[in-house]
Amino acid sequence: MNKRQLLQSFLAASALSFGLGGVAHAQSTTPIKFQLDWRFEGPAALFLHPAAKGYFKAAGLDVAIDAGNGSGGTVTRVASGAYDMGFADLAALMEFHANNPDAPNKPVAVMMVYNNTPASVMALKKSGITKPSDLAGKKLGAPVFDAGRRAFPIFAKANNIGNVNWTAMDPTLRETMLMRGDIDAITGFTFTSLLNLEARGAKAGDIVVLPYPDYGVKLYGNVIIASPKLIKEKPEVVKAFLSAFSKGAKEVIANPAQGIESVKARDGIIDTALETRRLKLAIDTVINSPDARAEGFGVVNPGRLSLMASQVSDAFNTKSRVNPDAVWTSAMLPPTAELNILKK
């Protein structure tokens, strides 16, 4: 064999080796279907940013992120196997567990993100509502699946609120009906409804906000959930996802405007200034809250988790009692150093 033939053989072998390596690399990337709890708004930056920066891909994951239409739907879709992981309200996850005790694929929470529930009651000052007890006998409005509405019995019990009258509506009509005076108050996520009211002409000074955490309701908010199949068969994949997510979330918390760029890339018609405000409000009220800094990002306090399980069982009138050990695991959380992402 002459030098030219030898060189050709070497190049062919190298190409074959590279090709096989490329196939092996492609096969090592694990696809993950991820369902958000809501639309591509400010808080979605927590997930869209690490995806845009390539942090999931660097961890060997091919993550596809879809918008959602409520936490209940996210839990159901992960339970059905349509999605591998998702972002959902912990109370909705607890309710699913307790109402479907024999379901074979109950999702499990693997990381705490919203250390406090974002739920609040909001009213206009002209209603005369300034404190929880003023809600007795009033007409409240919210979609039937709204987290604040579902947890309202816990809020009412903590504040000795008498009976209220509920009106159901589509989420897009909630703030409009309050502005028109069709209802006296609404429940909703603070960083959603507050800004929606302002967008409909309400001045910040004319809005009364009664956040659940400020009035004795220490419910946890949204968590990252994973299917039991993924947890059992590929726990290292869940751990890689949480590690990449934490890296991205740290950057979003430090620089919300940068995070919104990733949201804008997914939904070009968003109002950048509005969604930046929404993200900052979410960070300040439920992500980097005093409770979150005290407990640490990503984790839960066992006593607080057990209390919430009991409260949800009572308020939601579930078929069986919520088992806190069944809805949560910390087994795949990144090391403490990686979870140190909150600004002091």
- The residue assigned the tokens 């997930």 is 47
The pLDDT tens digits for 42-68 are 999 999 999 999 999 999 999 999 999
119, 121, 122, 125: CA torsion to nearest 10 = -150
Q: At the fourth CATH level, which superfamily is domain 30-115+220-339?
A: Periplasmic binding protein-like II (3.40.190.10)
d(CA 111, CA 224): 5
Q: For the chain, give the number of residues.
A: 344
20 or 325, higher pLDDT: 325
The proportion of the chain whose per-residue pLDDT surpasses 70, expressed as a percent, equals 92
Q: Please choose, from the candidates 304, 298, 329, the residue with its C-alpha nearest in 3D space to the C-alpha of residue 46.
A: 298
| pLDDT value of residue 209 | 97
Torsion on CA atoms 52, 56, 60, 62, rounded to nearest 10: -60
Distances (CA, A) of 102 to 16, 96, 171, 320: 51, 11, 31, 11
pTM for this one? 0.89
Q: Where in the chain is the domain with CATH 3.40.190.10?
A: 30-115+220-339, 119-215
119-215 CATH, one of 3.40.50.300, 3.40.190.10, 3.30.70.20, 3.40.50.10470? 3.40.190.10
The half-sphere exposure of 287 on its side-chain side, counting CA atoms within 13 A, is 25
pLDDT digits (tens, 9 = 90+) for 145-177: 899 999 999 999 999 999 999 999 999 999 999
Query: How far apart (Å, rounded) are the C-alpha atoms in residues 245 and 56?
Result: 7
CB 237 within 8 A of CB 59: no
Closest CA to 117 of 34, 38, 215: 215
